[in-house]
Amino acid sequence: MIELLNILYYYSKINCEEVITLGIIYIGDRATGKTSLALELTNPKYNYVRITNCQYQDLKDKLFRDGEIQPTAALNSLYENSLQVEVQLPAGAKNLSVNWVDTPGEVWRKSWRKDNPDNWQKLLNNIQESEGIILVLPPYREMPSLNSSVDSSLFPTKEQWCQRFQRWVNFFQFECPKAQQITICLNKADLFCNIEKEESELGYHPRHNRKGWFERHSYVKQRYFKVVQTQLDQISSATEGAPVRCFITTIHNRSLLELPWLYLASQL
């Protein structure tokens, strides 16, 4: 895959067309918001990240039924889509052709793996070959600022959340030691923080000297990933590629939604 990429990159240089082809995969448990995040990215109201080949409405029609987003069907396992993404970076626009793979949350259950060994292997290959992995996590019940209007029983307890996190660590360590770029998105930020305030802390402003990626990550890690700090370092040391990067995301704030993509586009 990397060889292939090099060849592609080489040809794209010859043709003077700066289009880089990448595989980016969303993983995470059920109902953490993977599909919503990807769908929302195609929203025509954008800042620095624009999808040029997909219509928001078309995709929405495809994914929604009765006003509810459909759970990604597990049996055909991978929902693949090709997105043309144009990202505005400090050195100018960069065009990526992203092979976006959505995975149903169900596949992370042990029983599913047992019953579908072939599909599991296929999924695993797909993850291992991706240049970027986006892990989407839900909030946990005890988060201090969790919005009181939400039914917190929908979310795992802190203990469950930490245990689940450790299993992700093991997954990366043993199944994806060659991962180049792992980003972790703690999603549904609208439910556990003041998104306008965090936007002003973390927002991307290429013309101003605001936080760099390292500082953004440190800020998010310090505030929202405190309970798993050592596990985060464990992922970074167990994988070959770049250190893991954490974000908070929500479909209700464009700035926060775009950050992981700006990050991935500048790295890859």
Partner 1 sequence: MGNLVIIGPRSSGKTTYLCALAYWPQRQAALHHQSIFDVDPIGEDSENLQKQAKNVIMPQESLQGTKVLTFSEMAQYQFQIKVKKKFSNKTELINLVVRDSAGELFDNLASGNINPDHEEIYQDFLRKDVVGCLILLGDWQKEDDEDYSASIKNFLSFLDQYDRNHDLKIALAMSKCERGELWTGRIDPYLDIFGAHLSQTRLVLEKSNFNQKNLEFFAISTFGVLARNDPRPNRRDEPGKKGKWSVLREPQKWKPYNLIAPLYWLSTGKKLGANV
- Interacting residues with partner 1 (CB under 8 A): 2, 6, 10, 13, 89-92, 94, 180, 209, 212-215, 232-237, 240-244, 266-268
What is the footprint of ligand GDP within residues 108-167 (CB under 6 A)?
none
Close Cβ partners of 75 (under 8 Å, ≥ 6 residues apart): 116, 119
Binds ligand GDP by CB under 6 A, chosen from 132, 250, 260, 265: 250
Would you count residue 190 as binding ligand GDP (CB under 6 A)?
Answer: yes
Q: Which does 180 bind (CB under 5 to 8 A by kind): partner 1, ligand GDP, none?
A: partner 1
Q: Which does 69 bind (CB under 5 to 8 A by kind): ligand GDP, partner 1, none?
A: ligand GDP
A 10 A CB-CB count for 5 gives: 15
CA angle 259, 260, 262 (to 5 degrees): 65
Q: Which does 1 bind (CB under 5 to 8 A by kind): ligand GDP, partner 1, none?
A: none
Would you count residue 34 as binding ligand GDP (CB under 6 A)?
Answer: yes
Structure tokens at 111: 């029983």
Structure tokens at 94: 């960069």
Query: What sections of the chain are H helices per DSSP?
Result: 2-14, 34-41, 56-63, 110-115, 117-129, 158-175, 195-202, 213-224, 229-238, 254-267
CA dist 58 and 80 (Å) reads 15
For the bound state, the minimum distance from the C-beta of residue 211 to partner 1, rounded and expressed in Å, comes to 8
State the residues that interact with ligand GDP by CB under 6 A.
28, 30-36, 69, 71-72, 105, 187-188, 190-191, 250-252
